[in-house]
Amino acid sequence: MYTNIISNSIGKTSFYWKSIIDLFLKGDNKMAYKEYLLDTNIVIKVWNKYPELLDAIENIECIDFKISEDIAGELSVKEYVQFNKDFILSNKFLKLLGHIITNKRPSFSETCIESDFVKNEKNDSVYFNNGDKISINDYSLIVICEKNKDYILVTEDKKMLRSAKIILDSSRVLNFNQFLDELRELNVL
Residues 38 and 14 in one domain: no
Residues 61 and 117 in one domain: yes
Predicted TM-score (pTM) of the model is 0.75
Residues 26 and 36 in one domain: no
β pairing state of 80-83 and 132-135: unpaired
Residues 37 and 26 in one domain: no
What letter would DSSP give residue 162?
H
Residues 6 and 73 in one domain: no
Residues 55 and 126 in one domain: yes
Residues 71 and 84 in one domain: yes
Residues 20 and 68 in one domain: no
Q: What is the pLDDT along the chain (189 residues), one digit of tens a residue?
A: 333 333 333 444 444 334 433 433 344 444 568 999 999 999 999 999 999 999 999 999 899 999 999 999 999 988 888 888 888 898 999 999 999 999 876 555 444 554 555 555 555 555 665 667 888 888 889 989 999 999 999 999 999 998 899 889 999 999 999 999 999 999 898
CATH for 59 = 3.40.50.1010
* pLDDT on residue 134: 83
Query: Domain tally for the chain?
Result: 2
Residues 176 and 106 in one domain: yes
Residues 38 and 127 in one domain: yes
Q: Are 66 and 151 a contacting pair, CB within 8 Å?
A: yes
Residues 10 and 55 in one domain: no
* pLDDT on residue 133: 80
Exposed (0-12), middle (13-18) or buried (19+): which is 184, by Cβ within 10 Å? exposed
Structural domain for 18, as ranges: 1-30
In sequence order, what are the residues at sequence separation of 6 or more whose Cβ sits closer than 8 angstroms to the Cβ of residue 60?
Answer: 186, 188
Residues 21 and 38 in one domain: no
CA distances from 132 to 68, 74, 129, 156, 168 (A): 22, 22, 5, 15, 16
Q: Report pLDDT digits (tens) over 6-52.
A: 333 344 444 433 443 343 334 444 456 899 999 999 999 999 999 99
* pLDDT on residue 121: 59
